[in-house]
Structure 1
Amino acid sequence: MDSLVRVLILVLCLFQVINNVECRVRRYNFNVVMKNTTRLCSSKQIVTVNGKSPGPTIYAREDDTVLINVVNHVKYNVSIHWHGIRQLRTGWADGPAYITQCPIQPGQNYVYNFTITGQRGTLLWHAHILWLRATVHGGLVILPKLGVPYPFPKPDHEVVLVLAEWWKSDTEAVINEALKSGLAPNVSDAHTINGHPGPVSNCPSTVGFNLNVSPGKTYMLRLINAALNEELFFKIAGHKLTVVEVDATYVKPFKTDTILIVPGQTTNILVTADKGAGKYMVAASPFMDTPTVAVDNLTVTATLHYTGTLSNSPTSFTNPPPQNATPIANNFISALRSLNSKQYPAKVPQNVDHSLLFAVGLGVNSCPSCNNGSRVVASVNNVTFVMPTVSLLQAHFFNVKGVFTTDFPGNPPVAFNYTGNPPKNLATNKGTKVYKVSYNDTIQVVLQDTGIIAPENHPVHLHGFNFFAVGRGLGNFNPKIDTKNFNLVDPVERNTIGVPSGGWVAIRFRADNPGVWFMHCHLEVHTTWGLKMAFLVDNGKGPSQSILPPPKDLPKC
């Protein structure tokens, strides 16, 4: 009976949010279950939420409270991260396993409880343990407050498009084999759009996602990159795309024919069905400008299908950009600017209390049992992060000693030519270290790619905060020269940023959210290898600037 009541409340609230009726509490049930599925002409069991992958889209409004009861029915430990939700003082609901919570064990459940404050737009949710987010992911749509319009022409329809990857093999077996060998894991076998891989040459039965449109109507496509390891280009044949939002923050609208979206990022685009009739290819293809790094090079396709067009009509094709199309990627990134209006100002920190340089990249550590006696690792400032067995937030809140140290280096311990010849010693240090700051401190982090093994793009995600991308460049960051060109007026505001291959990006944020907040590469292989760290933000003055106590049902390790 209780579950029936929950379902009825969910249906009522979903009806209300779609029809502009206030419903301040949104309730969802997430049952994590195994599901038999057939894709790419192979059958296997995958971990899903409510038997679907992608899972259900969460709908809420700015200022709503969201309650999501996650019940674990599978053999794996589970945790869910609400990617991009700031979790103001509610780090217990953030989700990364062993950072803000112990995972939900098989047969157990946990209610994630958080309020959406000062945010509206498209985000995503996904598993934040092991490689489960390969199939455990979905959309998170935050509508504006009642009566508050979009700062752009209202679209006639809205559609969520989740871009992801598909492996014929079990992803846990893929990464476990890689960790055993010390080498890189196999790449995925296909990309997907809303779970559909599209036509694949060695599997003629596969079909692509069909997006039906009516002539003359405008559609807002809420793009989400839920892929484990692939940065993606996105195009629609014959149609211009108007970018209006990224990572749930409005941007100055601009037109383009190609979107770049990295794992963990979201992008809202407006598309007008102005062709009258026809079928047009929708394509997502990989971006990787380092030739030595393997990627899944298959392009996933869907169809933009005008109503009234016969299903056997020919499709207008589009050529996806080359895999190494760096100029196209840079043009898109350079066009992004915060809206910076009176209603949505860009509150860029003009001065910083902490100026940090984080060298991010790969390394090689000794491993007698691995192939060649070594294993590939990753690090931030030469620290390969070691996951604790008690969550960092619990250790901080309850003052548990010996779980972590607060000596994470604010600069590389040894300076070198980061984008030139690698140092002779490729080994990294291991540790569970955090960087500690005071409440309301302003922080600048320059994320510097390194050429150890190979230069590579790194989509870095910061939990608990949005940040402003104030600068970007190739080569080694030069604080005397490069800071003069920083954009402190209308830089794009994000929660996930791509560090360019062989280059750097500078971000700024204000530490106005107490707790322990993860920062890591959103390429799951690099996170597994240790490219991660955490910020510890102390409580401020009084209860409103302090972490809330943990909920009674917080999972135990």
Structure 2
Amino acid sequence: MVPGPSIQVCEGDKVVVDVENHMEGMEVTIHWHGIWQRGTQYYDELEYDIYQWIAGNAGTHFWHAHTGLQKMDGLYGSIAIRQPPSKDPNSNLYDFDLTTHVMLLSDWMHEDAAERFPGRLAVNTGQDPESLLINGKGQFRDPNTGFMTNTPLEVFTITPGRRYRFRMINSFASVCPAQLTIQGHDLTLIATDGEPVHPVKVNTIISFSGERYDFVINADQDPGAYWIQLRGLGECGIRRVQQLGILRYARNAYQPSSAPPTYDYGIPQGVVLNPLDARFAPNGDHVISLIDEISYLSAPSPLLSQYDDINPEQFCNGDNRPANCGQNCMCTHKVDIPLNAIVEVVLVDEGKDTIAVPNNGYVVLRFRADNPGFWLFHCHFLFHIVIGMNLIFQVGSLSDLPPVPEGFPTCGDHRPQITLDINSSHYHD
């Protein structure tokens, strides 16, 4: 089932999720992307069979695996937390907010993601997807044979004269930006990353992995069926990767009368949200992911529940680098932040939790450190995460945290103990 189950709740609800892992020899952790986790810090990104948290912040969010490359293999799903219309400053712009109008965008490879894992010092690894999906659906045209799969496209149904809120989630795992355009219809943007924004009317939305955009479609065109075009940009443009969906007016044709748009002859883009600048790839002989010249190395035990089990020398940051740390400096990158401090890391849209940084660019952001815990700050491109483009914000001290839940599982050191037999040249574990 791709995507996984959608979680649709109301603001203030308590959410309890049972996770059953039937993958032999593989653990799984779930991250609730966009959920504040105030008071439920222990139930985010940890290996656990029951997750529970309060739906404290309304908006469009999503959940996904945070272990290895499992997200790229389809372990993700949508979250919609609704609130009373009186609390939504843009509620007057739409008539319906339906569970069927969640639009989850994803990229797709034709083999397990682990088979495409590049290795730390490899290049030309073929990490681009073969296809894109809308709510797990789509068709694929083989570029070598021209054969098209006979698989269904996603169809969204609307009624003439009504206005509909759509919740779009970018669940890409690759570096490709996603470009979404709907034939003949304007998109009135009303929220991003779960937070309302001043409405703006566009024709095309470009988004990056982890971003969410809510927009309103006014069903004011001639009743019929219209194409939805999703194009992969950047590196995905080399393969001309795209996917189609259908916006259908109720009690009308299921298939648009016009020919399907192609990658190079697509739906007119019109006014574009987040247009891309020209980009040039740097030259290099190997690939490594860094933040502040440090490649993130996972701690041997959970920081929240077993902090005292970790050797202090495991941690580092820009002011405290390990001795003799070379070009590929690796350690558990942690930045200590006093509770309730104001942190400046360039200020952009208030409320954003995912920001695209252009090549050779930078971003300045500010957040209020009022939620104690250990929070992962990372790139959302999956291959970048697993090779070290992460760090941990420690907000507050251990005494600021709520108590560890009763019966919370503990972990041993995941690293094998290595001993050296002085009478042999071989290592043993």
Range class of TM-score, shorter chain? 0.7 to 0.9
Alpha carbons of structure 1 residues 401 and 204: separation in structure 2 relative to 1, 3 Å: closer
Structure 1 residues 180 and 156, CA, compared in 2 at 3 Å: closer, same or farther? closer
CA distance in 2, matches of 1:321, 1:330: 20
Q: Is the 8 A contact 2:134 2:243 kept in 1?
A: yes
- Please point out which of 59, 63, 71 is paired with 2:12: 63
Partner residue in 2 for 1:370: none
Structure 1 match to 2:119 = 179
Contact kept, 8 Å, 1:57 with 1:139, in 2: the verdict is yes
Say whether residues 1:526 and 2:426 are aligned partners: no
Distance in 2 between residues matched to 1:400 and 1:186, nearest whole Å: 37
Following TM superposition, by how much is the alpha carbon of 1:296 offset from its aligned partner in structure 2, in angstroms? 5.4
Q: What is the aligned counterpart of 1:265 among 191, 211, 219? A: 211
Assess, with a 3 A threshold, how the Cα gap between structure 1 residues 313 and 295 changes in structure 2: closer, same or farther: closer
Report if aligned partners of 2:60, 2:81 keep a CA contact under 8 Å in 1: yes
How far apart in 2 are the matches of 1:321 and 1:550? 54
Deviation at 1:536, TM superposition (A): 0.7
Aligned counterpart, 1:536: 394
Question: 3-state DSSP class of the match of 2:365?
Answer: strand
Give the corresponding residue for 1:315: 258
**Large movers: runs of 4+ above 4 Å:** 145-150, 293-296, 316-323, 361-364, 403-406, 410-413
Unmatched segments (≥5 aa) in structure 2:
413-429
- For each residue in 1:197-232, what CA deviation from the matched residue of structure 2 results, as whole angstroms up to 9, or x when unmatched? 235243331331111222112121110111111321
- Secondary structure in 2 matching 1:203: coil
Q: Distance in 2 between matches of 1:405 and 1:322?
A: 53
Preserved CA contact (<8 Å) 2:333 2:390:
no
Three-state SS of the structure 1 residue aligned to 2:23 is: coil
The CA deviation string for residues 31-74 of structure 1, in whole angstroms up to 9 with x for no partner, is xxxxxxxxxxxxxxxxxxxxx11011112222222111111111
| Superposition TM-score, scaled by structure 2 size | 0.82
Shift of 1:515: 0.9
Which of 403, 406, 409 is residue 548 of structure 1 equivalent to?
403
Q: What is the match of residue 328 of structure 2?
A: 428
Aligned-partner SS, 1:496 = coil
User: How many residues are matched?
Assistant: 392
Change (3 A) 1:509 1:258: same
State the one-letter code of the partner of 2:108: W
CA RMSD in angstroms, aligned pairs only: 3.2
> Which AA in structure 2 matches 1:210?
V
Structure 1: give runs of 5+ residues left out of the alignment: 1-51, 96-100, 105-109, 334-360, 365-373, 414-425, 447-469, 472-490
- Alpha-carbon spacing, 1:113–1:196, altered in 2? closer, same or farther (3 Å): same
1:156 is matched by which residue type in structure 2? Answer: F
- Percent identity, please: 24
**Is 1:505–2:363 an aligned residue pair?**
yes
Q: 1:147 to 1:186 in 2, by over 3 A?
A: closer
User: What is residue 220 of structure 1 aligned with on the other side?
Assistant: 165
Q: Does 1:137 align with 2:137?
A: no
TM-score for both structures, normalised by structure 1: 0.64
Amino acid in structure 2 at the alignment position of 1:315? S
Measure the CA separation in 2 of the matches of 1:321 and 1:113.
Answer: 46
Match of 1:271, SS? strand
Are the aligned partners of 1:144 and 1:150 in contact in 2 as well (CA < 8 Å)? no
Counterpart of 2:306 in structure 1 is: 395
Q: Deviations over 1:119-175 (max 9, x none)?
A: 111000001001111201000010115864553324324211110111111112222
Aligned residue number for residue 54 of structure 1: 3
**1:439-483 CA distance string (max 9 Å, x none):** 01111115xxxxxxxxxxxxxxxxxxxxxxx25xxxxxxxxxxxx
From 145, 150, 156, give the equivalent of 1:205: 150
Judge conservation of contact 1:437–1:535 (CA < 8 Å) in 2.
yes
Which position in structure 2 is the counterpart of 1:164?
106
Q: Structure 2 counterpart of 1:125, which letter?
A: W
